[in-house]
Amino acid sequence: MTIAAQPFAFELDLAHAALVIIDMQRDFVEPGGFGETLGNDVSLLQAIVPACQAVLHAWRRAGGLVVHTREAHRPDLSDCPPAKRLRGQPSLRIGDEGPMGRILIAGEPGNQIIDALAPRPGEIVLDKPGKGAFYATPLHNLLQQAGVVQLVFMGVTTEVCVQTSMREANDRGYDALLLEDCTESYFPQFKRATLEMVRAQGAIVGWTASSAALLTALPPR
Ligand code: C5J
């Protein structure tokens, strides 16, 4: 399957690819959560949900492997280095009680993936204590066992957890494609810069494409 992408076409091999959905969790995306409490405009992030849903449904129909991640720490914070916790906004730090439960703590209401993109049985769901999806998770092993060498990324935020995960993927030998209208940042200029950085210098980190380009190429089932 040839996907119209930048800086050049991406040859998708669905049998050896996974869709990786980064941190579409309530606290980042929904009004009344952690992200909004910090003063961010979450409507920017909500706007990508329909496009993410369309890709997820089409990917499932095509029989592709799906991975969901959440930025999540253990309740005792044993996997949260003080340097990460103390560098957050002083008003609301990881582990503090927030509007949707404890901030970035596994199992809390705000830490759940939004209903529109809820994982289905059989899909991989990973709690990640870092920004990158590979750090301190079994993701690389799981992908290797499944024979996956290509990753299609969606999720938030573009310049933090999505970009970090793509760079980790690149260093581990995966080809990575970021869907431009299925990722977002609270800071539009950071999203724009990330898309450019990813595909610069002949896809130094990976490719970018519209969801429409992927949907056109995916086979109906
Ligand atoms: C993610 C963050 N998921 N921005 N986290 O990007 O802190």
> For the segment 140-176, what is each residue's pLDDT rounded down to a tens digit?
999 999 999 999 999 999 999 999 999 999 999 999 9
Q: State whether the beta carbon of 36 lies less than 6 angstroms from ligand 1.
A: no
pTM above 0.85, yes or no: yes
- Show the domains of the chain with their CATH numbers: 2-217 (3.40.50.850)
> For the segment 162-218, what is each residue's pLDDT rounded down to a tens digit?
999 999 999 999 999 999 999 999 999 999 999 999 999 999 999 999 999 999 999
The verdict on whether 80 is a catalytic residue reads no
The verdict on whether 161 is a catalytic residue reads yes
* 3 state SS for 98-156: EECEECCECCCHHHCECHHHCCCCCCEEEEECCCCCCCCCCHHHHHHHCCCCEEEEEEE
